[in-house]
Amino acid sequence: MQLLLVEDDAQVAAVVERGLKEAGHWVEVVHDGLEGLARAETGRHDLIILDVLLPGLDGLEMCRGLRTQGLRTPILVLTARDAVSDRVRGLDAGADDYMAKPFAMEELLARVRALSRRAGDGMEEEALKVGNLTLDLTSHEVKRGDSAIELTAKEFALLAYLMRNAGRVLTKEQITDHVWGYDSEVVSNVVEIYIHYVRDKVDRGFSRPLLRTVRGVGYMIKE
């Protein structure tokens, strides 16, 4: 999909842009509300991801302006504010969904997929497959061969990220950004712990392991 990301925080924008591109999306990034409005008005984007606090033009005002013009492109609002009243203001301004910072990249990708389905875009992937391991992004069912695998929400997010990048080594930092959030405070060995959990569930009982550790670099899943 073609996405417009309007975010003035350079660090957040870089992390989100990288994650969206790794998931196969084309991403245009702007850091100012007025410029974001001008880019959005072209109507060429499938989805707009919009921060609230922007220089030039407030994100909610930008959202209202686009809806007043009749632009129906789905809008996902990002904000550091998580009060019910703030969420209501965002939705009333014309947003289709709302996420509070900090957030995990996998959750953002799931919201993007949901908005894409809601908008009638049938191009989004519904399942991931590596060898005889399948992961259904809609039903959250995971199977290896004919055996069902029960995963927690974090284990599912970790496995989905690995499978989207099958054959590619992912560092601990990349995994932390995508699964736990770009500025979440997690213990230093949480990635190793969850890799152990997922490996035990995915590879146990099979002669050919899929989940691999590349020492000194990170982790990968490969047929």
Considering its fold, how many domains does the chain have in total? 2
* Same-domain status, 110 and 144: no
* Same-domain status, 112 and 181: no
* Same-domain status, 160 and 66: no
pTM: 0.67
- Cα distances (angstroms) measured from residue 164 to each of 63, 81, 87, 161, 190: 31, 31, 31, 5, 21
Among the candidates 88, 118, 148, a domain finishes at: 118
* Same-domain status, 71 and 108: yes
* Same-domain status, 108 and 142: no
Under DSSP, is residue 208 helix (H, G, I), strand (E, B) or coil? coil
* Same-domain status, 167 and 61: no
Which structural domain, as residue segments, surrounds residue 20?
A: 2-118
Per-residue pLDDT, averaged over 85-105, amounts to 87
pLDDT digits (tens, 9 = 90+) for 114-151: 888 776 544 455 789 999 999 998 788 999 999 999 99
